[in-house]
Structure 1
Amino acid sequence: MKRTLLSSLLALTTTAATALTLPVPDRPGDSLIGSPPHEVKYVAAKYEDTLIDIAVEHRLGQDEIVLANPHVDRWLPGEGTPVRIPTSFILPNAPRQGIVVNLPEMRVYYYPNAHQVVTYAIGIGRENNWRTPLGRTHIAAKMENPSWTPPPSIIAEHLADGDVLDPYYPPGPNNPLGLFAMRLGISGYLMHSTQKTNGIGMRVSHGCIRMYPSDIEQFFPMVKVGTSVNIVNQSIKVGWYHDTLYMEVYPEMEEWPASYEQRLHTALNLIEQANGGQIPVVKGSILKMALEKPTGIPVAVYERPSQASTQTTVQN
């Protein structure tokens, strides 16, 4: 049985993924999107692959694929090694409208209408002085084939490292902003494409939100000037899929550290909120493992009793 399962996993192709355009859950209270959680997707690593190569091929984030494959070597997975491809996501706990950016997850969710959500992996700002800001803003402007004039702070930083930036970068494929950029209402911050695709899913920018060139090429025409943008910090997400409650966990951001006890308190509060104000009897060992060793993969922490089992309990 195990050999048959492994063979089926290794037979899966590594065709590049497209942007995930998914239906918003239509069951009241549900918030898990993508493949049903029990449908797990793997691809077989090729001899020359790193996990980062596979992430780029499937338009996932670097940290995202490393978290999802904790026992696979980042730089040398090994030919034929099954690599898990995340395909299920819990929607952030935020209004389902406009653009929602979840920084710890390094993923953006866009709601073009009440029935669909589009999601992409992103790169975000470094910690300390270059972090991506939290809060509500909007798309203030859209620029196709943008030019870039590096600000003095970035010029000085590069110069300190022995790298001299040009004072002006004209439009074109060699421009660090790529071919598409959207300016946020927060001064100095953009969503834009990048040629440094290995940095998607990492904290590498000066605060801007970076996207795969092929992703923003799809995203750019969808978004109108004035679209709301909600940037949140949710390292723990909780949501229902039918009668099962799932939790999806990411490492805390460095500038907002939290102890295990604090993370447990946050998780239990979210579970209580999702369960109508009552804390159910959760799977304690799974909850503990998810908080101590985040994978970014939704894990089941509670199942509602079925009507049949409830009736049996009453009869007994």
Structure 2
Amino acid sequence: MKLVHAIILFLLMVERAYASVYPLPADNSRLLGEPLSYQVETGDYFQALAEYHDVGLLALMAANPEVDPFLPAVGSYIQIPKQMLLPFAERKGIVVNLSELRLYYFPPGESLVYVFPVGIGREGLATPKVISHIGDKRKDPVWRPTKAYRQRYFQEHGKTLPKEIPAGPNNPFGKYALRIDTSEYLIHGTNQRMGIGMRASSGCIRMYAPDIEWLYFNVPVGTQIRIVDQAIKMSYEPNGAKLIEVHQPLSEQGQISMTSLPTAVNAFIGDSESARIQLSDLLSQPSGLVVTLEQ
């Protein structure tokens, strides 16, 4: 019965996944949302909670490093990473920030921003940083794996992968896809939920099924897309607060240290010794949560 209950709970949570929609802050602010905590109930585990709250699995784990993601203590509270800073990029079209594994969509003519967790390319098959546009949209896309992918698949599994996989449960693109210009890179659904909020794809951008469906029906062809990589995001807020949000950098970049800080981050921290100590702690264990720097 416990297994049946867990399965039912998981399915209900999957159905209730929803996009995060925020009022667009003023030009002199980058802060979205409020801190959010959740009290763990019987049967909860991080993958189901990530889908329910529409956040990435790794983001949820980073925000709660002391919590067992498979057996969180019932009655305890966990942090849900729904507060964030906008990346440093034009507030236009789609912006994907690789290190934080999030996609932002700024609909034209609206003072809103939609935020979604995404999966990106794994190490060695990185999602490229580009400024481009959505060149095509497809429902029930056919998957035509590249020759290199089929060779790699044969080496890893000892089986020949077909040159074409039709729409259906075996298609890793899911039901909807948006192509970046005319490239081989897509924003698409997936038949592997564990890949959302992780580096698990061959370079494409994966989304939960409800999220890519929403994007498919709301983002027109021609929409600008900008893919950036900002592991550290900062904001001088109108109330004088200095906010910072630190994510684990992509592995091929290596760990960021206090001696290798970008010039902009050094300038933001300034001469405050307490702020430098605070940042050092964040770099050693990035939480992905918005933190107010001591001044």
**1:54 equivalent among 49, 58, 65:** 49
Query: Gapped runs of 5+ residues in structure 1?
Result: 1-13, 273-278, 304-316
What's the counterpart of residue 104 of structure 2? 109
Whether contact under 8 Å (2:245, 2:288) holds in the other structure is yes
**Distance in structure 2 (CA, Å) of the matches to 1:166 and 1:77:** 41
1:198 is aligned to 2:187: no
Whether contact under 8 Å (2:18, 2:52) holds in the other structure is no
Whether contact under 8 Å (2:234, 2:245) holds in the other structure is yes
Whether contact under 8 Å (2:142, 2:167) holds in the other structure is yes
Q: What is the correspondence of 1:184-195 to structure 2 with a 5 Å cutoff?
A: 184-185=180-181, 187-195=183-191
**2:73 equivalent among 71, 78, 88:** 78
Whether contact under 8 Å (2:278, 2:293) holds in the other structure is yes
User: Residue type of the partner of 1:157?
Assistant: R
**2:254 equivalent among 245, 253, 257:** 257
TM-score of the pair, normalised by structure 1 = 0.81
* Cα 1:287–1:21 shift into 2, 3 Å: same
Whether contact under 8 Å (1:250, 1:296) holds in the other structure is yes
1:157 is aligned to 2:157: no
- Post-superposition offset of 1:62: 1.2
What's the counterpart of residue 293 of structure 1? 285
**2:85 equivalent among 78, 87, 90:** 90
Whether contact under 8 Å (1:125, 1:204) holds in the other structure is yes
Further displaced range: 74-83 or 105-114: 74-83
Whether contact under 8 Å (2:36, 2:83) holds in the other structure is no
Aligned sequence identity (%): 35
**2:214 equivalent among 215, 218, 221:** 218
Query: Gapped runs of 5+ residues in structure 2?
Result: 1-12
What's the counterpart of residue 30 of structure 1? 29
User: Residue type of the partner of 1:34?
Assistant: G
- Post-superposition offset of 1:168: 1.8
**Distance in structure 2 (CA, Å) of the matches to 1:230 and 1:242:** 27
- Post-superposition offset of 1:302: 4.9
What's the counterpart of residue 3 of structure 1? none
User: Residue type of the partner of 1:293?
Assistant: Q
CA RMSD in angstroms comes to 2.1
- Post-superposition offset of 1:71: 1.0
* Cα 1:168–1:179 shift into 2, 3 Å: same
TM-score of the pair, normalised by structure 2 = 0.87
**Distance in structure 1 (CA, Å) of the matches to 2:214 and 2:291:** 30
Q: What is the correspondence of 1:158-173 to structure 2 with a 5 Å cutoff?
A: 158-162=153-157, 163-173=159-169
Whether contact under 8 Å (1:99, 1:230) holds in the other structure is yes
What's the counterpart of residue 228 of structure 1? 224
* Cα 1:181–1:226 shift into 2, 3 Å: same
